[in-house]
Amino acid sequence: MSSNLSIILPRVLIVSRRTLRKNKFVDFVGEYHLDLIVAYGAVPVIVPRVSGVRMLLDSFEPIHGVLLCEGEDIDPSWDISKELSKNCESNYVMHINYDDYDGHRHAIKIVKNTPLYDWFKDSLENEGMDEILVNSYHHQGVKGLAQRFVPMAFANDGLIEGFYDPCAYNPDEGKFIMGLQFHPERMRTPNSNDFDYPGCLFVYKEFVKSVIAYKKRLNIITSVPKPMKLNKEMKNKRKIIMRSFSLAKNLYATGRGKCSSKHSEFEIRAEFLECATRKSVKANGSNS
């Protein structure tokens, strides 16, 4: 891998999903996620869920964005603000059609003045509504949000269908933290790649936009000018130049004394500075 961060494409880390197939675990990521990330100019970096991978996370850097998608059920005993409640199980199940995950839809109400509303704004205004129909894959949901997060959408039963951090959302500056309860990348008309709404694409477009912006910020912070490499001849000339400067300093300070340095040494100094200037101009031109 090149050490020059400026030529590394924006990279999105994606943790794979693990499932059991023929008595063996298989790690994978849905192709729709990968297609959209690549289409908008970033490189997906898939992290397998294998033993010891945590010790290797540094080797995946640089990482400019993280996408957590899909996955198996979460143990409701974990303290992560999610749970599967038996008392509410019927409400969650009403969002799902196990025989037609991709085709089934349920309504969600989108909150105004949120990124989600902006992405689906044209569709909402054309229909004169504040609702869209989304797909149904989950039977777990967010019970309560941390204080930093703000809801962006609700199902009819009150389930939070989207949230974001308003203090960490500005794609132009590389800021993007949010979560969705539905899968916009899979909201497509039957037997077609046409999306239900144009806003489905904006989810990934704005995410990758922020990834690219973050990479640019990182490049500026980590960019350090490299010193010019000198060959043996140039190093010798540099020594002569330093001696010439030292002699000139002594002459200026004392106002007397004879200069033992040969005139040719000063010519070498001028030649060296002229060569260094040409290299500097050439380097700056290639980096602009």
pLDDT tens digit at each of 288 positions of the chain = 445 545 678 999 888 777 777 887 777 677 888 899 999 999 988 888 777 877 887 888 888 998 887 666 666 665 544 332 322 222 233 334 445 666 788 899 999 999 999 999 999 887 677 899 998 777 677 778 888 999 999 998 888 999 999 999 999 999 999 999 888 998 988 888 899 999 999 999 999 999 999 999 888 776 555 666 777 777 777 777 777 666 666 666 665 545 555 555 555 555 555 565 555 555 555 555
190 in a domain, yes or no? yes
48 in a domain, yes or no? yes
Same domain, 46 and 147: yes
**Burial status of residue 270 (CB atoms within 10 A of its CB: 0-12, 13-18, 19 or more):** exposed
Catalytic residue selected from 64, 95, 183, 200:
183
The total number of structural domains in the chain stands at 2
Whether 185 sits among the annotated catalytic residues: the reply is yes
For 101-113, letters b (16+ CB in 10 Å) and e give eeebbbebebbee
User: Distance between CA 65 and CA 184 in Å, rounded?
Assistant: 19
Whether 274 sits among the annotated catalytic residues: the reply is no
Same domain, 249 and 173: no
DSSP 248: H
Catalytic residue selected from 70, 88, 104, 138:
88
Q: What is the largest CA-CA distance in the chain?
A: 100
Whether 125 sits among the annotated catalytic residues: the reply is no
227 in a domain, yes or no? no
User: Distance between CA 247 and CA 267 in Å, rounded?
Assistant: 15
Same domain, 43 and 185: yes
Which pTM does this prediction carry? 0.66
9 in a domain, yes or no? yes
Same domain, 202 and 155: yes
184 cis-preceded (ω within 30 degrees of 0): no
Domain boundary among 222, 252, 276: 222
Residue 261, domain extent: 232-287
179 in a domain, yes or no? yes
